[in-house]
């Protein structure tokens, strides 16, 4: 396939305009255009009355035609397929320890899903509740001022982002197309297919809950195990020859200990007690800088106290 960049069309262009623009850019007969898919669609709104859509398109042509165009300097479509680092069949031991994922927010969900797809049957631990119960607990605080300290807007299935509006874009450059894997899994779980191509993808709070449930169901179908109301209170390490130690398991608030040398911490920044536990057990940590902002809202119109303000024209 061939990738074409920077195809510009008017905001309200007809449905067949993009295909015609692709043919015109390539200079090939219409019969040679086997198919095309939009990789990305963004906006150029610098001119208020001439808003344009900007497309990046992957085009499929007959092999001979593609070869000719590539030899003239056009770019091939990159390989965006996600490559797993391993599969369960790669491990020689049938009793391979199951990995443990601590936390079931965005990071934990995707980590557990990838591990499940690799055949490793992860065990997921979250101190909070499943997303439906957690929603009730969160609204219980917001509406009735009743706080469940372990199941709220910070803790529980889906993480804090479950109660946001589902924006899925950032400034991070994604040269390996890892974000594509995330978006693809979201679409499989029920997100709108357009998130794969729009420049600022967005899902919406009400769709997120069902998506989270669907991903959980897929992890379980692949052999994973999800445990809610399972707070990790201690980490275990065993000595190694280099003196650094090797993680060997976790203990839950129930008193149960799970043994594994493969543990992913996806605890989020709100789990301050877990950070304290790690510090007390000698785990090195350092602060990470982050941005913080605030929003100011006021009624439309000019308040009376502005009348004599020197900063108001």
Mind listing the pLDDT tens digit for each residue in 113-144?
Answer: 999 999 999 999 999 999 999 989 988 888 99
Average pLDDT over residues 53-72: 92
Same domain, yes or no, for 99 and 25?
no
Q: How many domains does the chain have?
A: 2
At 92 the pLDDT is 63
294 lies in some domain: no
Q: Which one is predicted more confidently, 312 or 214?
A: 214
Percent of the chain with pLDDT over 70: 92
Are 49 and 115 members of one domain? no
pLDDT attached to residue 307: 56
Domain that holds residue 45: 2-76
169 occurs within a structural domain? yes
Q: What pLDDT does residue 254 have?
A: 94
User: Domain check: are 41 and 144 in the same one?
Assistant: no
The verdict on pTM exceeding 0.95 is no
Indicate whether 105 and 159 sit together in one domain.
Answer: yes
Please check whether residues 188 and 253 belong to one and the same domain: yes
Contact assessment for residue 214 and residue 189, using Cβ atoms and an 8 Å cutoff: yes
Residue 240 located in a structural domain: yes
- Residue 12: CATH number of its domain: 3.30.70.2700
37 pLDDT more than 80: yes
Q: Are residues 56 and 168 in the same domain?
A: no
**9 shares its domain with 123:** no
Q: Check pLDDT > 60 for residue 159.
A: yes
Query: Does residue 31 share a domain with residue 139?
Result: no
Task: Judge whether residue 208 has pLDDT over 50.
Answer: yes
Res 244 pLDDT > 90: no
| pLDDT for res 290 | 77
> Per the domain annotation, does 248 fall within a domain?
yes
């Amino acid at each position: 396939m061939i990738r074409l960049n920077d195809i510009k069309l008017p905001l309200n262009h007809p449905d067949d305009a993009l295909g015609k623009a692709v043919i015109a850019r390539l200079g090939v007969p219409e019969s040679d255009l086997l198919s095309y898919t939009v990789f990305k669609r963004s906006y150029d709104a610098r001119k208020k009355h001439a808003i344009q859509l900007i497309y990046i398109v992957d085009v499929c042509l007959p092999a001979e035609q593609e070869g000719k165009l590539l030899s003239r300097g056009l770019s091939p479509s990159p390989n965006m397929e996600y490559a797993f680092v391993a599969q369960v069949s790669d491990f020689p031991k049938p009793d391979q320890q199951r990995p443990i994922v601590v936390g079931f927010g965005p990071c934990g969900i995707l980590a557990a899903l990838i591990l499940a797809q690799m055949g490793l049957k992860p065990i997921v631990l979250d101190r909070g509740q499943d997303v439906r119960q957690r929603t009730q607990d969160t609204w219980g605080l917001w509406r009735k001022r009743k706080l469940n300290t372990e199941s709220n807007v910070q803790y529980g299935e889906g993480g804090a982002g479950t109660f946001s509006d589902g924006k899925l874009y950032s400034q991070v450059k994604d040269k390996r197309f890892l974000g594509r894997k995330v978006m693809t899994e979201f679409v499989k779980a029920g997100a709108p297919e357009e998130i794969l191509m729009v420049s600022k993808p967005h899902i919406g709070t009400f769709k997120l809950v069902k998506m989270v449930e669907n991903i959980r169901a897929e992890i379980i179908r692949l052999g994973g195990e999800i445990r809610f109301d399972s707070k990790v209170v201690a980490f275990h390490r065993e000595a190694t020859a280099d003196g650094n130690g090797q993680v060997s398991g976790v203990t839950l608030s129930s008193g149960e200990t799970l043994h594994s040398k493969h543990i992913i911490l996806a605890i989020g920044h709100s789990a301050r007690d877990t950070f304290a536990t790690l510090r007390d057990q000698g785990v090195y940590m350092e602060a990470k800088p982050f941005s913080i902002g605030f929003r100011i809202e006021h009624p439309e119109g000019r308040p009376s106290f502005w009348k004599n303000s020197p900063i108001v024209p």
